[in-house]
Structures are given as C-alpha cells and as structure tokens.
C-alpha cells in the first residue's frame, strides 16, 4: 500500500504511511509495530530506528547554537564597538 520510504532531516527512517515514528503495541497476535500517528501495523524498520540512514560523522548543529555563536551587540569586545542596536 505505502511503498515509499520516508526519512526525517536527521536521517531517521519514518513510517511509510504517515512519516511518523513507530512503537510496539499489544495486538491480537501479541506485540505489533504500529505507526504512532495512525496506529496501523507497519513493517520492522519503519520508524523504529533500525533502518536509519548512515551518519555523516559530523555532529548535528542545533540552530540555537548557531544563533548564540553570533557576536552580540551587547559585547564588551572593542572590535565589535562599531556595531550598534
């Protein structure tokens, strides 16, 4: 039914149906892997962390860290004294 593999921006495999993570839930046949968004049964690898894309080896950069690394207008650094609010 849903055949296209979906991944998030970090390379985590998501469910094919909703593009969500999955979880194990108790079903009639025991525990089954289900989509966390629509609760449909999904195949192993879909959103469970076992079919993620290979890591690039580079640390993930948080946008807030990039923002905090920018020079502040309130800095006491003389080289930044020409910058005003």
pLDDT in tens, 65-84: 666 666 555 556 666 666 65
Q: How many residues does the chain have?
A: 85
Burial of 14 (0-12, 13-18, 19+ CB in 10 A): buried
What is the pLDDT at residue 16?
93
- Residue 50 in this model has a pLDDT that exceeds 90: no
What is the pLDDT at residue 60?
58
What is the pLDDT at residue 15?
93
Beta bridge partners of 22: 35
What is the pLDDT at residue 3?
73
Helix (H) or strand (E) holding 67: helix 63-68
pTM: 0.58
């Amino acid at each position: 039914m849903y055949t296209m593999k979906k991944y998030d921006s970090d390379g985590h495999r998501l469910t094919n149906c909703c593009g969500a993570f999955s979880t194990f839930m108790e079903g009639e046949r025991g525990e089954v892997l289900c989509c966390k968004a629509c609760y449909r049964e999904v195949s192993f690898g879909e959103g469970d962390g076992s079919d993620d894309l290979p890591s690039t080896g580079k640390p993930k950069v948080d946008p807030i860290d990039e923002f905090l690394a920018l020079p502040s207008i309130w800095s006491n650094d003389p080289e930044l004294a020409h910058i005003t609010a």
